[in-house]
Amino acid sequence: MKLHLSDEDVAFREEMHDFFTTQIPQHIRDTVAARRELTKEQIVESVQAMNAAGIAVPNWPVEWGGKDWTPLQRHIWHEEMQLASVPVPLAFNHSMVGPVIAAFGSQELKERFLAKTANLDIWWSQGFSEPDAGSDLASLRTTAVRDGDDYLVNGQKTWTTLGQYGDWIFTLVRTDPDVKKQAGISFLLIDMTSPGVEVRPIELIDGGHEVNEVWFDNVRVPAENLVGEENKGWDYAKFLLGNERVGVAPVGSTKRTLSLAKEHAKTAGPGGTSLLDDPLLAAQVADLENELLALELTALRVVANSADGKPHPASSVLKLRGTELQQAVTELIVDLAGPASLASGAGEDSDVPEWARVATPNYLNFRKASIYGGSNEVQRQIIAGTILGLRG
């Protein structure tokens, strides 16, 4: 199996590198590189720059703005974006609801939503998780009861990431309570300005506001906002989650973060000395670099085996190991910052360098990585059953 790039793919990589390092505004790339929180406006500006160049939604059908790229080219696009400190396009729009509407939505829904979704003129939120459901997504209790030309929606969603910016929310709702739980679910699009929709913030352990609760109190939703067929929503959700797990091994961004950690280590010792001379730290860094290289090669093997466009079962390995390494590197930076990592509340006039001030919030924030997109425990079950053939 060839793991080196062809001349054509090398040229493609250079094309992507040139675009991301020259066409995405520097202030956005600086924000990502410094691991500061992006504003909504920065995310929209970055996506619209990519969409103007026709490379925001390469995974979509060509007629709706996609590119006829190979899986390897899409992988290169994603990696070069991260290496250039460019925020990846909003997953809720570009990896989740967009492909679902393109594959299963009516022509009216496609024409109404896809162009605006690609350009982030509409900011989508995800309405899947519910209280008390844990990882059992099918245990949802939010109901949608048909009432004339509308559905009447009642219930609650939780962990709705960036829901405070949402214009619309795609939801799984129970439309038939009398059948097997997976068979009574529908996929409904809801305008978040509708009467009865309320977004409540959840304060996180790092002090940030990234996730929310979304409540629905007798919300009227036109039946034309149903995607596909009623009670077939579980099939569309599985399609969406399969797409979500593509690109879940953030090798590019983790390599960039590890490179920054090595730069910080050069002056993080007593009196501004280098910690890279410490054999234990040097061994830790070398171990992470080797693990990232192994993950990068595994990602290429997965891409090579996904030529039919379907997610490969080994994507669970990428999700599992990718998030573990992502968390390990954020923990390394906290260790390098030492006591200064406690200064997360310090202002710009602090003597503590910015990288040390953001070390702990970033470390805490990335604890989520092993939970979202299918928890790592779920990925281990998939690996055991699907790849290793270990049935319980």
- Catalytically active residues are 244
Q: Where are the beta strands (DSSP E) in the chain?
A: 124-127, 143-147, 150-157, 168-174, 185-191, 197-202, 211-222, 226-227
Tell me the C-alpha to C-alpha distance, in Å, between residue 154 and each of 143, 144, 189, 199, 229: 5, 7, 14, 14, 20
Largest CA distance in the chain: 73
Closest C-alpha among 233, 121, 127 to residue 184? 233
* Six token digits for residue 371: 């939970």
The C-alpha atoms of residue 47 and residue 118 are separated, in whole angstroms, by 8
Give CA–CA dist 207/301, Å, rounded: 39
DSSP readout, 34-102?
Answer: TTPPPPHHHHHHHHHHHHHTT-S-TTS-GGGT-----HHHHHHHHHHHHHTTPPPPPHIIIIIIHHHHH
Spatial CB neighbours of 45, under 8 Å, sequence gap ≥ 6: 25, 28
The three-state secondary structure class of 193 is coil
